[in-house]
Structure 1
Amino acid sequence: MSAENKLREEIARLSKSLFDRGFSVGSAGNISAAVEDGILMTPTNSCLGFLDPARISKLDRAGNHVSGDKPSKEVFLHRAFYETRPQAGAVVHLHSTFATALSCLADTDPDDCVPPLTPYVVMRVGKVKLLPYVKPGDERMGDMIRALGGRHAAVLLANHGPVVSGWDIASAVYAAEELEETAKLLVLLRDAPKRLLTAENVAELNAVFGGY
């Protein structure tokens, strides 16, 4: 089996895992992964729980549809991550419940919308930026991500949901899961006094474990 076909199978397997555990519902969410000559992406209006690896969309490096079903309408935000973060090997966009809830709260800090509650959100996700609302599929999504200059591995789209990039498909999925679980903790602890990691704690984690 070719490396591309193995990656198609891995996208389908991990997408089903996310769907089966409630990280996406219906036809919500989209996932992409970089290959040597372009990008593989889940098709528009597809369900992450029932992907056919052979029908996953393929685009060339210029964003032209090469094969498979028509790609997600949110291809712009994926391409923006690949363009500004050369180390990105995959991008995961979900409508997961608690991360989306954070994106809807009026008092969420737009510059640090997922504070360092646990070491793993620091290690796997980093500082998360909240981006202003635009309608799904709007090309301005890509413009807003490019404007960040590659400084963030993950963002929250206001009133929409999280977008997380990673070294490869597995690390991007794991980071998206970590973001969702941390968002859940933040919502559960919303009205309680919280003990966050200190700046020194965060610096130590970044020094020891590096960062994507």
Structure 2
Amino acid sequence: MTDSSAAPDRERAAVAGACRRLGAEGLLIGTAGNVSVRVGERVAVSATGAVLADLTPDQVTVVDLDGRVVAGTLEPTSELDLHLGVYRRYGTGAVVHTHAPMATALSCVLDELPCFHYQLLALGGTVRVASYATFGTPELAASVVAALEGRSAALMANHGALTHAPSLDKAVEHALLLEWACGVYQRAAALGRPRVLDEGQQLAVIEAALARDYGTTHPVPPAQEGQR
């Protein structure tokens, strides 16, 4: 282990900032949950036992892809194998694991969160529920990694949720989107059986999003400027 001053300060600060944002949004409660970002062969990850809504950069530990601590003074999260498993399998850039209330509630009753709203396509469509296993175990890591195949999010049975993305900001956005979708589904299910988008409807959304470059801003075309 080395002195924390040798750590990549920018990544440690980014992880701490992401944890504080997720805490402010109500997705991280107390010490439950963990966040990491990968840079090359190093992973900056929240420390075990830290209050995530108040996390500071010195409470972020840096490990290599084998889990060896290379910077920081605190033990990394007990879910380190889960984070490293996602990095090894999918080559992603950041991982967010939360015990967000709505996602956790649905993880206790659903086998999957169906694609009932087109915004779930940003996560890959239907969100699978990984089989239950004790936290911090290789069995849990393997179950979640398998559930993420072709997806950016998974629910973890009777536990919580996990999202990943090329960047930390996007992984946080995915976590917020997943929690929103879980909340909408819960409310819809209380009123009746939610309709699910079929494959054709999902494909039409994808095609429309690609054609419109959906999710980005666009300047008004020159011919329309005088019409504003």
Residue 194 (structure 1) aligned with residue 194 (structure 2): yes
What SS does structure 2 have at the residue aligned with 1:162?
strand
What SS does structure 2 have at the residue aligned with 1:165?
strand
Quick one: distance in 2 between partners of 1:205 and 1:89? 26
CA-CA distance at 1:36 after TM superposition: 1.6
Partners of 2:152 and 2:174 within 8 A in 1: no
Quick one: distance in 2 between partners of 1:118 and 1:157? 20
Structure 1 residues 190 and 131: alpha-carbon distance in aligned structure 2, compared to 1, 3 A threshold: same
What SS does structure 1 have at the residue aligned with 2:53?
coil
Residue 159 (structure 1) aligned with residue 158 (structure 2): yes
Q: What runs of 5+ residues in structure 1 fail to find an aligned partner?
A: none
Give the greater-gyration-radius structure (CA): 2
Note the alpha carbon deviations across 1:115-142, whole angstroms, 9 max, x for none. 1222222124533221121111112122
Q: TM-score, normalised by structure 1?
A: 0.87
Note the alpha carbon deviations across 1:174-197, whole angstroms, 9 max, x for none. 001100110011111113142332
Quick one: distance in 1 between partners of 2:133 and 2:195? 34
Quick one: distance in 2 between partners of 1:157 and 1:31? 16
Quick one: distance in 1 between partners of 2:147 and 2:195? 29
Residue 5 (structure 1) aligned with residue 15 (structure 2): no
Q: TM-score, normalised by structure 2?
A: 0.81
Quick one: distance in 2 between partners of 1:190 and 1:152? 23
Partners of 1:90 and 1:172 within 8 A in 2: yes
Partner residue, 2:225: none
CA-CA distance at 1:150 after TM superposition: 3.6
Quick one: distance in 1 between partners of 2:75 and 2:151? 28
1:52 to 34, 51, 56: 56
Which amino acid in structure 2 is aligned with residue 120 of structure 1? Q
What SS does structure 1 have at the residue aligned with 2:177?
helix
Residue 203 (structure 1) aligned with residue 207 (structure 2): no
1:172-183 aligned within 5 A = 172-183=171-182
Aligned positions, number: 203
Note the alpha carbon deviations across 1:142-172, whole angstroms, 9 max, x for none. 2224445843322111100001111110100
CA-CA distance at 1:37 after TM superposition: 2.5
Which is richer in helix?
2
Tell me which of the two structures has the higher relative contact order, counting C-alpha pairs closer than 8 angstroms and 6 or more residues apart: 1
Partner residue, 1:96: 100
